[in-house]
Structures are given as structure tokens and as C-alpha cells.
Amino acid sequence: MLARARTNWVILKTCLEERFVYRADFAFATLVRFLPIVTQVFLWGAIYAGATQAAAGSNESGKPTTLNSYTYHEMIAYYLLAMLARAFSSMPGLASGIARDVRDGTVKKYLTQPIDMLGYLFWHRIAHKLVYYFIATGPFALIFYLCRDYFPRSPDPATLLALVASLVMGFLIGFLIEALIGLISFWFLEVSSLLFIYMMFNYFLSGHMIPLDWLGEVGQWVEFLPFKYLAYVPAAIVLGKQGYVLGHGLESQLLIEATWIAGLLVLNRVAFSRGVRRYGAFGG
């Protein structure tokens, strides 16, 4: 147990060192990710301004409008929180990296050495995220500070704890889904199209594009999928959305999320053990 913890620590340390090698590229890549946040804030501003103008034309009071019960401020708060959740749950390069390793034979090191490939990739990803947070915490804090008035209330400690739990579990779900897509490369070698489809659904069904409670009846079906934990749920917890308040359904949501993690973990294990049986290790 202790030996395994030490191995994981050294994997994490080595991955961290590797992440810091190309620091300029990494810093640029991280900072560039903030540009869409800024443009999205302006976009929602334009949408709400348009809606308010339309409302002024059609109703006498001309009050600032809400869209699907979200005020402009609430919408921005939702979007920023969804982006915070995505900082945990998005896994750039994970599935495509596994597929590349399978195609070019790099995967051999996981199969011939006494290491667990998924465990190794997990710690590699933790390192990736830690370096990301190291660089991104400042800009994130700045944006949240500038938009502080948009948040309806400060969450109490218990809600904050639930938020942290949902972010960590969101990370696990994101990791397990993308790893599973990557493992499909043992069958098809190339998963880029599959990954593209997943990204598309993920953007829509995780609540990254719009809040899931805007989807009406479709949203009821989305409730049963694991994607909502990747962006919507952490935001809904902070905003106190129906069903995501402690004592009013949040506990069972988190329990279902944990069950998803267990299920995806089993699926990953099965896919790996079947995949390596199929593995042809082509090309020398």
C-alpha cells in the first residue's frame, strides 16, 4: 500500500516536472482559454439587451427581462460556475493520447511494466490539472472578483463542501468517460470522430452551452445521463437550483454521481482487459 502510494507520488512528481518543461506554451494555452469566457460574457450581455429591448417594445412596463427564469446576472454567474466545473472535468488530449499510444505502440510500456495503465494516466492527469490550476487560479480569481456582484449569495460552508465534492467527482467522471473513449482505440485504432461527437454532446448535455433547466422536456432525459455532472451540477449547487439544495435532493444527486463513477470505473476496467486481448501491437 505504502509502496504503491510512493509509486503514485513519483509518477505525479515526474509528470509535474514534464508539464513545466514547455512552460511558455502551457501558459499561453491556459491563458487563451480565458478568451472564450470573456466573449461569452459579452454575448450573453447582447442577448439579454436584445431581449429587454424586445420586451420594452411588447410590454408597457419595459422591465429588464429574464430568460427562462434566469436574470442576466444569474446567467453570468451560472456561466462562470460552469466554466469552473469544466476546469475540473475537461480532459484535453486524454482520449486522443490513449489512441495515439495504442496506434504507435507506446502503450507497450504499460503492458510490459508492472504498472496499471489507468492508474498511471490518472496521476498524469492530476499533474496536468495541478499545473493548470497553478497558472489559472489567478485569472479565475480575478474574473470571479470582477463579477462578484453577479452572484446571488455566498454559499454556506456545507454547500461549499458539496461544491468541492461535486467538482472532484466531476473530474473523476470526465476522466473516466474520456479514458473509456480512448480505450475504444484498442478496437478501432482511431477515435477522433467519436471524440468529436462526444465533445458535441458534452457541450450541449453538460450544461456548458446553456443551463440544463432551459431544455424543458428534453432536460428530463438529460437528468439520467452523467454529462450534467461535468458542468451543470456544480453551478446548480452554488445557485441553489431546485433539487440541488442540501436537505432537498442534493445528497441523492451526489450519491447518484458516485454511483456513476463506480459504474464507469467498472466499464473502464472491462474495456481495458478486453482491449488488451485484442491488441495487435502492429508495426515492429
Partner 1 sequence: MPAIEVRNLAKTYRVFRKREGLLASVRGLFHREYESIHAVDGIDFQVEQGEMVAFLGPNGAGKTTTLKLLSGLIFPTDGQANVLGHVPWKRENAYRRRFSLVMGQKNQLWWDLPAQESFRLHKEIYRIETTQFDRRIDELTELLEVKDLVGQPVRELSLGERMKMELIAALLHSPDLLLLDEPTIGLDVVSQRKVQQFLKYYQQEQQITVLLTSHYMKDVEVLCQRAIIINQGKIKHDGPLAEIVDRFSQHKVIEIQFAGSELPETLDRYGDVFERQPPRAKIRVPRTDVPNTLNQLLDNFTVEDISVEDRPLEEAMAELFINDASNDSN
Binding residues for partner 1, rule: CB under 8 A, are 3, 6-7, 10-11, 14, 17-18, 21-22, 105-106, 108-109, 111-115, 276-277, 279-282, 284
CA distance 90 to 76: 20
Closer CB to partner 1, 123 or 232, in the complex: 123
Closer CB to partner 1, 21 or 32, in the complex: 21
The minimum distance between CB 8 and partner 1, in angstroms, equals 9
The minimum distance between CB 109 and partner 1, in angstroms, equals 5
Closer CB to partner 1, 5 or 35, in the complex: 5
The minimum distance between CB 182 and partner 1, in angstroms, equals 18
Closer CB to partner 1, 7 or 52, in the complex: 7
Closer CB to partner 1, 6 or 148, in the complex: 6
- As a dihedral over the C-alpha atoms of residue 249, residue 157, residue 209, residue 55, rounded to 10 degrees, the angle is 90
Looking at residue 91, the DSSP 8-state letter turns out to be -
Say if CB 34 and CB 143 are below 8 A apart: yes
**In DSSP terms, which residues pair with 67 in a beta bridge?**
70
The minimum distance between CB 283 and partner 1, in angstroms, equals 9
The minimum distance between CB 6 and partner 1, in angstroms, equals 6
Q: How far is CA 97 from CA 93, 112, 183, 192, in A?
A: 5, 19, 10, 10
Q: How far is CA 16 from CA 27, 179, 245, in A?
A: 14, 20, 37
Closest alpha carbon to 32 in 129, 117, 155, 136: 136
DSSP helix, strand, coil percent of the chain (3-state; round to 5): 75, 0, 20
Closer CB to partner 1, 157 or 284, in the complex: 284
Say if CB 87 and CB 231 are below 8 A apart: no
The minimum distance between CB 132 and partner 1, in angstroms, equals 18
